[in-house]
Amino acid sequence: MDHLHIWSSFRPDDIRKQAMQSGQRWKDGKPLSVFDGVPVALKDCFSVAGHRLCFGSNIASCVEKYDDGASARKLREAGAIIVGLTVMTEGGVSTLGYTVSFDGPFNPYSLEHYPGGSSSGSAVAVASGLVPMAVGLDGGGSIRLPASMSGVHGLAVTYGRIILESDSHTVAKAGPLAATMLDVALSHLLLGQAEAGTFYGDLIGEGNIPPPHLESVVDDNGIVLSEKEHSNFKGVRLGIYWDHFKDSDPEIYEACLASVRHMERMGAELVNITIPHMRELHLSHAITILSEFGLNWDHRFFDPNYKLEGNTEVTVALGRTITAAEVLAAGRLRTYGMKKVCEDLFRGLKLDAIVSPMLGEKVPTPRNGYRGYGESDTAKVYKTMRYVPLANLLGLPGLSVPIGYEKDTNLPIGFQFLGDAWSEHKLIRLGLQLEQSTTRRQPPAENFYDTLKKFL
């Protein structure tokens, strides 16, 4: 799988050591959890002991990390085999997925198309069959977009649900990219466990962060509900802003509409909604995340010895031009959006989720000559992000589920469920239900490795 350029840090000897330890635990009848022996990966912005941390940037800037961050520690304590860190777009500033420093990664369904970013390597690691789950980070669709473009499931949780190692981003949240919805569910339970003394506990209040759970997904005995029960959408209320829903490529729209009609036939109630000032809310997200990029990468921007990618330099420079007045205005609109979407729509109309396509267009292709240089194309990026910003601006959970494939390219099509705060269990239930009606296709054989084939 070297040709997909997935890994930014990969240590075979360490992987074998972890596997031997897990094998011994199973032999002794003392596995640590259901994750014991399961290969997993983390995006190149999560600290993992012994691995270099690059943030998708110039390899000369990478630093060795000797301590596990919260997500790596939870996975290791559960017995998971941490395979390595996955390539991300430099600084996380692009949703397209290509990184100059690592010359990749590439979409396993088509090497001529972008894999989505910025958690591009995490999505490709799952889509290519190397791991069933990889951890990503989502500040502007960076979990959900690569999940959609690379044909896997991606859950970006409520802000503060999963502990991050930096509190400098107000729109970023972590989450799993996974092969199946059950993998998403199990990963959510593990990664979402709260800890005392964190920034998020201080900000939100320790007692105000509910523990992760799977109510309506498993029964009282912890057994996953049957396929028949999952196929029933009776009692589910789905909000649809139709004008916004239709603002996508015709083929994407038709595929997503078919999923909506399927859920309606299976008992879901469709609720027509309107979200006023959507353009301004999207602009508020852009102002917020760009200003935070500008702040966090300011030292590299002015370092004459540090070479940023062209697109990163443009993005950081733009972020540095944003004024305090604009940031303040964006914050006021964020407050308006929280009241309108959370109070008036989710709680006022008793919605279980707001649904939409995941992408505004088909999976994009790079421009000629992009390798080694990257690409800066604001229009292309915005089209991919058309259904992204509300989850990040308002701190709400969003789930991308693969529902089909483009007719001419066989590239994946994703569908999005947006939930109220702390409602990941509802999104997981809906994802499991929709998964039952979808026939999955693997990438071409040369881009897919079946890790279980030799054992089954």
Question: What are the residue boundaries of the structural domains of the chain, listed by start?
Answer: 2-455
Give the integer Cα–Cα distance in Å for 314 and 263: 43
Beta pairing class for 398-405 and 412-418: antiparallel
Q: Which helix or strand (DSSP H or E) is residue 392 part of?
A: helix 389-393
Burial class (CB in 10 A: 0-12, 13-18, 19+), 225: middle
The pLDDT value given to residue 230:
59
Q: Is 139 left (phi over 0), alpha (psi -120 to 50) or beta?
A: alpha
Low-confidence ranges of the chain (pLDDT < 70): 1, 225-231, 456
Q: To which residue do tokens 């800037």 refer? A: 61
Cα-Cα end-to-end distance for the chain: 21
The pLDDT value given to residue 244:
97
The pLDDT value given to residue 304:
83
Task: Give pLDDT tens digits for 217-229.
Answer: 887 777 776 655 6
CB 125 within 8 A of CB 6: yes
At 2, give phi and psi (nearest 5°): -60, -30
Q: Which pTM value belongs to this model?
A: 0.96
Task: Give pLDDT tens digits for 353-384.
Answer: 999 999 999 999 999 999 999 999 999 999 99
Fold of 2-455: Amidase signature (AS) enzymes (3.90.1300)
Strand partners for 175: 136
The Cα-based distances of 338 to 172, 360, 418 in angstroms read: 16, 23, 13
